[in-house]
Structure 1
Amino acid sequence: MIPPCIKRLPAALALWVGLSLVIQADEPTPPNQTNSIGMQFIAIEPGEYRRGFDKSNQRDRKFALAHSYSNSQEFRFDSPSHLVVLTKPFELQKTEVTVAQFRSFVEATGYQTDAETNGGALGCVPEAENYVDRFRKSPDVTWRTPGFEQSDDHPVVAVSWNDAMKFCEWLSDQETATYRLPTEAEWEYACRAGQSTWYSWGGDPDDAYMHANVADGALEAAQPNTTRYQRAIKLEANDGDGAVFTARTARFQPNPWGLHDMHGNVWEWCQDRWSADLYRNYLDDVPWPERSKFTVTDPVKLDETPQHAYGDWRSMRGGAWTCAPASVRCSIRTFAEAGDAAIYTGFRVVRER
């Protein structure tokens, strides 16, 4: 089942779419410093965690009870859970890539995004009577003009996976470091920040409004029946996180490792190719008594599946301003084609250590 906040979008974008200096060879990277375009990074050490939604001990039923105001979740894409070991340290950007940071890339290279050269990104038409018809591709929608106001500190949106990769290539060329998109495994490890709960802040969905930009009363007031589509809304217009569309990066409280907006704000591209059955395939040949201890080391999905005969589908994580709290949980996964762009998709980058 498609997560409720990403249901029934057009086929081109099938689903709704988680501090350092230049690395010098002769000295370690100093902490709490920025790179040449003002990006800050958090050093992430190797470790082990349980990836995916753990359905043991009726946790899926407990999730439903705790999220009584949200659409039901089937956890098809993020279960069964399994242990993951990451053996290499990395640095993850403290925030999502901002409008100003992406502009630095464009101004330096003259780059045009996929949306700018291929008929625009998926934007919002709030006056459409049918909810799913509110999201349409338009040549007027690009990272420069998403259809709502953004400052330099907002996350860049309407960028494709291809655009994100070009940004990483450019930044790597500018500095003596390798920049890339995170793997899905790295992304969830960093999002969880040592926690095993549904969210990095715990298990209460109503705490989302202190930690994440999610669909709330502000969005519902601005665009009636938008949030209501996925949540039997109980919020007044001045409740919730207060942001209608994207929010300024780092506006909300960070997770325990100091990373902002790992939940909500914008879906974030990962380097992996999408595989809906990835977690189930891991465990197909593992006997039931051994599944709780089954471990995958440094996983990244780069090979194609039969689905990729119809497009270069790539994974995204974290949820967006369009999603209710239930759909911004640590384990949430979705996908889009590498050339597609939408006003609720962005990215953050890894710098290799």
Structure 2
Amino acid sequence: MIRPLLFLSLIAHSVFGQSANSVGIQLVPIPAGTFYMGSERDGEDADEQPIHRVTISKPFRMAATEVTNAQYEAFDPAHKTLRGKMGFSKADDEAVVFVTYDQAVAFCTWLTRKEGKPYRLPTEAEWEYACRARTLSDFSTGNRLPAVYQKSQKTDRDPVVVSLQVGQSPANAFGLYDMHGNVEEWCSDWYGPYRAGEQTDPVGRVSGLYRVTRGGSHGTPIRYLRSANRLAMIPNDNSWLVGFRIIQADAPVSSPLPPNPVPAVMQRVVQKPASWQPVASTKPIFLDPIRYVRKPDCAGGVPYFSHNHCPAITWCPNGDLLVAWFSTDEESGREMTILASRLRSGNQVWDEPSEFFKVPDRNMTGTSLLHDGNGTIYHLNGLETDGDWQNLAMTVRESHDNGATWSAPRLADPEHTKRNQVIAGLIQTREGWLVQPGDADPGPTGGTAIHISKDKGKTWNNPYTDPQKPRFRNGAMGGLIAGIHAGVVQLKDGSLMALGRKDDLPGPDSIGPRMPMSVSTDMGKTWTYQASDFPPVWSGQRLVLYRLNEGPLLLISFTHHPDEASDATNGMLFTDASGKTSRRYGMYAALSYDEGKTWPVKKLLTDGKYRYLNGGAWTGAFEMDATHAEPKGYLAITQTPDNLIHLVSSSQHYRFNLTWLKQLPAASQPSINSTRK
């Protein structure tokens, strides 16, 4: 049954040659013409620059609506099993969703063979030209989008189910429906920066990592529905936000643009293996902290935002260090990108950052890096459908040349769901398996899941089984690690041990709640819980748990949360070289020589020297002295083959060795520089 609005529109446009093809797709004639592509917006929309004059030299026919379930399933009947997934797109005349780029192309190929006429996806330029329909405004409706076009136009942590019925809002001047919203639409172009100057029938880049999508969708803020807004996706990704529409026309004969520029962090990478000289085991080393998050030169065009946080770090075979983190204005923002910097071998200053990984207009929460010791560097990352950080897929890619080039991103877990908020702390077990922790819930509690690859990152499995099982009680058994942002190590007996944030367990009455410790003897299928010796970690804090090259387990965490209570009632007791015990505050290290049963060494991470530092992100400025270390931050760690330990907080890079950790600190003296009273 044809709805009245669409029926009247079909009559109105019939005089212009609109017709239905063999699967019932109404094709609208789009005339040749010239338009201005892009916008002058800055910030996260800077990829819409520069505005450039584009000529579409030949007319074409474009589907009046997005391809529907019934139309797509004439090609792929098996897709019917995905109707209603997450509650979306159940009816014949709703836009088909959960379709990858390759599946959309395959539909066009099938329809071309079926009818003997050329069908394909539109180029990005053809799509924007058809959407604008001779307008220069943000939308074809002007600079505002009327309510009749809107379907839950906000970021929804839990997707709000709406009808995806096509043709329910007015058509634009060309007779096209749903160009602003309903579902995003695949285009044929590889995503890449625009080229300035007049162009005719442009087709984008010759290669790339992501295919362009356009138009925005339901469950998306209105600004992402603008005619000029650019989105993209990994080609084999799919979601409840993305469908497609087709055109009938021969492919343009224009030459594509060159490949995308290589970011600075991947340039000038030396390939000669480093000659690692072990740090003298008898000499304690603690070097001055250096800042790795450096604001880039604005002329460089790096998308650097106000909030830089959540790092990962690894060493490279050539002696470089590689660090990556997210940069954003809001942690639930679509502008979030992954930046990276390189500390080149022999240097004392980190490079300015450059963009490392960004699927356009998608939230990218969570990054992990690991060099396996045999020349392969792994990069895992979360990938949202939109903003927020609940419904993440998990991507993986590798480098075999010190991070100079990377494989195309693959979907380690293709479902956009909980459990995939990647956390720095990827480990390699003694079996050679990769174990990646990921938050199991977007909230402050809810535990951590793990993902395991037994084939060097090619395939991954999640041993998490029973969502009702985690109870997080002393002595209980559950299906998740207690606490989010967990650090995980493998013990010598093959079991896994983890420490996490929140989901705290009660300690002795005199000391209050303790950080939860989780142990699994079946490689993550089940976990048992007990209170650790350590105080809980809180918002703005992330611990690291790591096995050092020399054998001991190393925990680095925080004595308390400075925003929760005063120094007078918090901190931890530490013993100095004189044997005196005193209360100290901030980031500390603890060592265990018996696989986490006891932690005889506990030390504040400071050499006693007064420093004014800035921890960035949620930390901000702080003073460091004999009794105070960095008060909070998100931590990541690696240890180079020379046994130097490299710890990064949200902004600072610390370097020290095991001998220094074992050395008792000097008795504390008041700092003449401190502003503390």
TM-score range, shorter chain: 0.5 to 0.7
Please give the alpha-carbon distance, in whole angstroms, between the structure 2 residues aligned to 1:45 and 1:214.
33
Greater helix share, structure number:
1
- The SS at the match of 2:129 is helix
Cα displacement (A) at 1:176: 2.2
- Of 83, 103, 115, the residue aligned with 1:144 is 83
Cα displacement (A) at 1:159: 0.3
1:44 aligns with 2:26: no
**Counterpart for residue 201 of structure 2:** 298
1:274 aligns with 2:222: no
**Counterpart for residue 105 of structure 1:** 75
Inter-CA distance 319–30: structure 2 relative to 1 (3 Å threshold): closer
- The SS at the match of 1:174 is helix
The within-5 A match list for 1:22-37 is: 31-37=17-23
**Counterpart for residue 232 of structure 2:** 335
Partners of 2:56 and 2:126 within 8 A in 1: yes
Partners of 1:41 and 1:93 within 8 A in 2: yes
Q: What is the one-letter code of the residue matched to 2:91?
A: S
TM-score using structure 1 length: 0.62
1:174 aligns with 2:114: yes
Partners of 2:19 and 2:28 within 8 A in 1: no
- Of 178, 183, 186, the residue aligned with 2:123 is 183
**Counterpart for residue 93 of structure 1:** 63
Partners of 2:97 and 2:239 within 8 A in 1: yes
Q: What is the one-letter code of the residue matched to 1:43?
A: P
Please give the alpha-carbon distance, in whole angstroms, between the structure 2 residues aligned to 1:262 and 1:214.
16
Residues 297-351 of structure 1, C-alpha deviations (whole Å, 9 max, x = no match): 110024124xx3xxxx211001010211111000111111111111111000011
1:210 aligns with 2:144: no
Q: What is the one-letter code of the residue matched to 1:80?
A: P
Please give the alpha-carbon distance, in whole angstroms, between the structure 1 residues aligned to 2:83 and 2:161.
18
Runs of 4 or more, structure 1, over 6 Å off, are none
Please give the alpha-carbon distance, in whole angstroms, between the structure 1 residues aligned to 2:92 and 2:161.
17
Please give the alpha-carbon distance, in whole angstroms, between the structure 1 residues aligned to 2:188 and 2:172.
22
- The SS at the match of 1:105 is coil
Please give the alpha-carbon distance, in whole angstroms, between the structure 2 residues aligned to 1:87 and 1:327.
28
Structure 2 residues not aligned, in runs of 5+: 1-9, 251-677
**Counterpart for residue 153 of structure 1:** 93
Provide the aligned length of Structure 1 versus Structure 2: 236
**Counterpart for residue 514 of structure 2:** none
Greater strand share, structure number:
2
Residues 75-111 of structure 1, C-alpha deviations (whole Å, 9 max, x = no match): 122122111111011111000000110111113xxxx
- The SS at the match of 2:82 is coil
Q: What is the one-letter code of the residue matched to 2:33?
A: G
Please give the alpha-carbon distance, in whole angstroms, between the structure 2 residues aligned to 1:175 and 1:299.
27
Please give the alpha-carbon distance, in whole angstroms, between the structure 2 residues aligned to 1:39 and 1:196.
28
Structure 1 residues not aligned, in runs of 5+: 1-18, 20-28, 61-72, 117-141, 228-242, 284-293
Please give the alpha-carbon distance, in whole angstroms, between the structure 2 residues aligned to 1:196 and 1:304.
30
Please give the alpha-carbon distance, in whole angstroms, between the structure 1 residues aligned to 2:76 and 2:95.
15
Q: What is the one-letter code of the residue matched to 2:131?
A: C
